[in-house]
A and B are shown apart, each in its own frame.
Chain A
Amino acid sequence: MNTDQSLRLRIEDLFTDYVHTIDDDRLEEWPDYFTDAGRYRIITRENHERGLPAALIYCDGKGMLRDRISAMRKANVFDPQTYCHTGGAVQVVGADDDGIQVRSNFTVIRTLSDGAMSTFACGRYLDRITEEDGALKFAERTVVIDSRRVDTLLVIPL
């Protein structure tokens, strides 16, 4: 799709800011990348391709997005860990009244406190992006992970 280059740059900036927010552990800011009714799902490629709806994480609205972070900070117990996202292959696939549809690839390397590093997840972001008060926001971000298998646990959003 032929996209205005300035819009394309704004989308790429959004993606860049998003991954740095996660990788820098500024997760309290993470829900602000979404609209108030924003949906966020992490789903396996198998489920996605077979039309099976169950996700590993499903947030419907900003309240649930915030709850993911407060649970992580206050309730859940896990080995200290950090992510390093890399991304690319950004493709604007369509646009309509509901927003701009964009797909891109990502890889997350996870590092644990004992130094162990692994390719924790890779796959696609399938996004619907809208403009709100002059800023681009995710109305919907579906994270399709290629593997059905999660190593130990998934607590930090992808």
Chain B
Amino acid sequence: MSGNQAPEFTWPDDDISRVPYQVYTDADIYAREQAQIFQGPTWNFLCLEAELPNPGDYKTTFVGEASIIVTRDDDGAINGLLNRCAHKGALVCYKPCGNTRHLTCVYHNWSYDLDGNLAAVAFSKGVGGQGGLPDDFETAGHGLQRLRIETYRGLIFGTFSDATPAFADYMGPKLLASIDRVLIKPLKVLGYHSQMLPNNWKLYAENTRDSYHASLLHVFHNTFGIVRPNMRGGVQIADSGWHHRSYAERVPAGDVEIDKEKVRSLKNQYSLDDVSLMEHVEELGDTVTNSIQTVFPSLVIQQILNALAVRQLVPRGPDRSELFWTILGFEDDDDALLELRLKVNNLVGPAGFVSMEDGLAGGLVQRGAVADPAARTVMPMGGPGIEPSVGSRVTEAAVRGFWKGWRECMGI
């Protein structure tokens, strides 16, 4: 078979505005991403502190394909542990969440404390003097693999790598401030759901950074003035290029030429019978109607009107990914604000008026990409670099920033 083996992938040149389709379809690249991106020098969103209020609370989550247990221990500290028994590699926790004193593998009852230390091994002394652990077996070296953890404004991040910089340095001041802007108070989880996307995880990572598409693909944005091409806003990009924030304000940016004949989303004008879901309580101290922020590689922090959520992207093979939505409010929301959030939430998620097409678009690219792995996308808008954009979201700079980060992690 070696004669048929494809050569190891290399990026053909320095151009991050031309992405070879092979990166969306290739199983070897996908495997390397697990080690070099998800288990590389990156901060991966795990879950929220609000989901682990008490000692003993745990939740399982993912970093790439790896299953992770997040616990709150008796000291109140958060721990991130690889969910893989040191004995035979079975998942130790197979339930999504709960409260426990010990993490015990059901297969052979090896038991770990909430910090991941191996606390007990079943039949460690054997039975009747026969069997059991050898005398020189050290339990200290057989705990669950620990991740480094940082929390920021209620978000819990984990990394496998010692090389990952401190979270504040990883984000940079601009994009740290944009997290501060949204997560202003203690959070409350309003619900969960997930969405299987028929595309490589990177196509969704690109889509969230692609502020160019928002007013073109999503008719709702235009019709109801959440994001129009002529609304004031911009795209902030971390100096590293890895993370971004795109935002729009309900303030006209002046006369901007929009050719309605050519913009499909502006042609089919229609109105809502009930506009209550488009109400907006300006709770964050500004007039921003839409703020989408990424944290490389897998997190999106969303504010659309009063709909707050985090979205966690999990790869499920070269041509599949799963997007986990956690719908949020603040602990001190009154009934009226809660009801508004629940209504505005109709805009987002797998059934969202403005986001359901994101499930379609990535799949369309995935189906197109297979025709010729060596061919490349063309993403010149606002380019060719990763410069931030003030006043316009018609740019693909943040997408190019993603590819800069991807190449740096992959060494490609």
Interface residues of A (CB under 8 A from B): 42-44, 46-47, 52-64, 66-67, 70-71, 74-79, 148-155
Interface of A, helix, strand, loop or mixed by DSSP: mixed
Q: Could you say which residues of chain B place their CB within 8 Å of the CB of A57?
A: 346, 351
Please determine whether A75 and B270 come into contact, CB atoms closer than 8 angstroms. yes
Q: Could you say which residues of chain B place their CB within 8 Å of the CB of A55?
A: 191, 342, 345
* Interchain residue pairs with CB less than 8 A apart (7): A47-B193, A52-B191, A53-B342, A60-B276, A63-B273, A77-B360, A150-B195
Please determine whether B220 and A153 come into contact, CB atoms closer than 8 angstroms. no
Per-position binary interface string of chain B over residues 196-239, scored 1 when its CB falls under 8 Å from any chain A CB and 0 otherwise: 11100000000000000000010110010000000000000000
Please determine whether A67 and B193 come into contact, CB atoms closer than 8 angstroms. no
CB nearest to A154 among chain B residues: B351
Bound CA–CA A152/B359 (angstroms) = 5
Please determine whether B195 and A149 come into contact, CB atoms closer than 8 angstroms. yes
Minimum CB–CB distance from A31 to chain B (whole Å) comes to 9
Count chain B residues whose beta carbon lies closer than 8 angstroms to a beta carbon of A: 37
CB nearest to B351 among chain A residues: A154
Please determine whether A52 and B343 come into contact, CB atoms closer than 8 angstroms. no
Instruction: List 8 additional contacts besides A75-B223, A75-B353, A149-B196; criterion CB under 8 Å.
Output: A56-B350, A59-B346, A63-B274, A64-B346, A148-B194, A149-B193, A150-B351, A152-B360
Please determine whether B196 and A152 come into contact, CB atoms closer than 8 angstroms. yes
CB nearest to B272 among chain A residues: A67
Please determine whether A150 and B343 come into contact, CB atoms closer than 8 angstroms. no
Q: Could you say which residues of chain A place their CB within 8 Å of the CB of B356?
A: 76, 78, 153-155
Q: Judge if B10 is at the interface, Cβ distance under 8 Å.
A: no
Minimum CB–CB distance from B309 to chain A (whole Å) comes to 9
Q: Could you say which residues of chain A place their CB within 8 Å of the CB of B359?
A: 152-153
Q: Judge if B322 is at the interface, Cβ distance under 8 Å.
A: yes
Q: Judge if B20 is at the interface, Cβ distance under 8 Å.
A: no
Q: Could you say which residues of chain A place their CB within 8 Å of the CB of B353?
A: 71, 75-76
Bound CA–CA A53/B190 (angstroms) = 6
Minimum CB–CB distance from B121 to chain A (whole Å) comes to 34
Minimum CB–CB distance from A145 to chain B (whole Å) comes to 9
Q: Could you say which residues of chain B place their CB within 8 Å of the CB of A58?
A: 342-343, 345-346
Q: Judge if B123 is at the interface, Cβ distance under 8 Å.
A: no
Please determine whether B342 and A150 come into contact, CB atoms closer than 8 angstroms. no
Minimum CB–CB distance from A51 to chain B (whole Å) comes to 10
Q: Could you say which residues of chain B place their CB within 8 Å of the CB of A151?
A: 196
CB nearest to B327 among chain A residues: A54
Bound CA–CA A90/B147 (angstroms) = 49
CB nearest to A151 among chain B residues: B196
Please determine whether A75 and B268 come into contact, CB atoms closer than 8 angstroms. yes
Please determine whether A61 and B274 come into contact, CB atoms closer than 8 angstroms. yes
Closest 4 CB pairs of A and B: A54-B191, A63-B274, A63-B273, A150-B350
Q: Judge if B315 is at the interface, Cβ distance under 8 Å.
A: no
Bound CA–CA A66/B271 (angstroms) = 11
Q: Could you say which residues of chain A place their CB within 8 Å of the CB of B192?
A: 44, 46-47, 52, 54, 148
Please determine whether A74 and B270 come into contact, CB atoms closer than 8 angstroms. yes
Bound CA–CA A71/B272 (angstroms) = 8
CB nearest to B361 among chain A residues: A77
Return the contact of B342 from the options A54, A78, A79 (Cβ within 8 A).
Answer: A54
Given known contacts A57-B346, A76-B356, A154-B350, is B194 in contact with A149 (CB within 8 Å)? yes
Bound CA–CA A80/B349 (angstroms) = 19
Please determine whether B191 and A155 come into contact, CB atoms closer than 8 angstroms. no
Please determine whether A155 and B351 come into contact, CB atoms closer than 8 angstroms. yes
Minimum CB–CB distance from B395 to chain A (whole Å) comes to 23
Q: Could you say which residues of chain A place their CB within 8 Å of the CB of B119?
A: none
CB nearest to A41 among chain B residues: B342
Bound CA–CA A58/B277 (angstroms) = 10
Bound CA–CA A62/B219 (angstroms) = 22
Q: Judge if B338 is at the interface, Cβ distance under 8 Å.
A: yes
Q: Judge if B357 is at the interface, Cβ distance under 8 Å.
A: yes
Minimum CB–CB distance from A143 to chain B (whole Å) comes to 11
CB nearest to B328 among chain A residues: A54
Please determine whether B357 and A64 come into contact, CB atoms closer than 8 angstroms. no
Segment 149-191 of B: residues with Cβ below 8 Å from A: 189-191
Bound CA–CA A56/B190 (angstroms) = 12
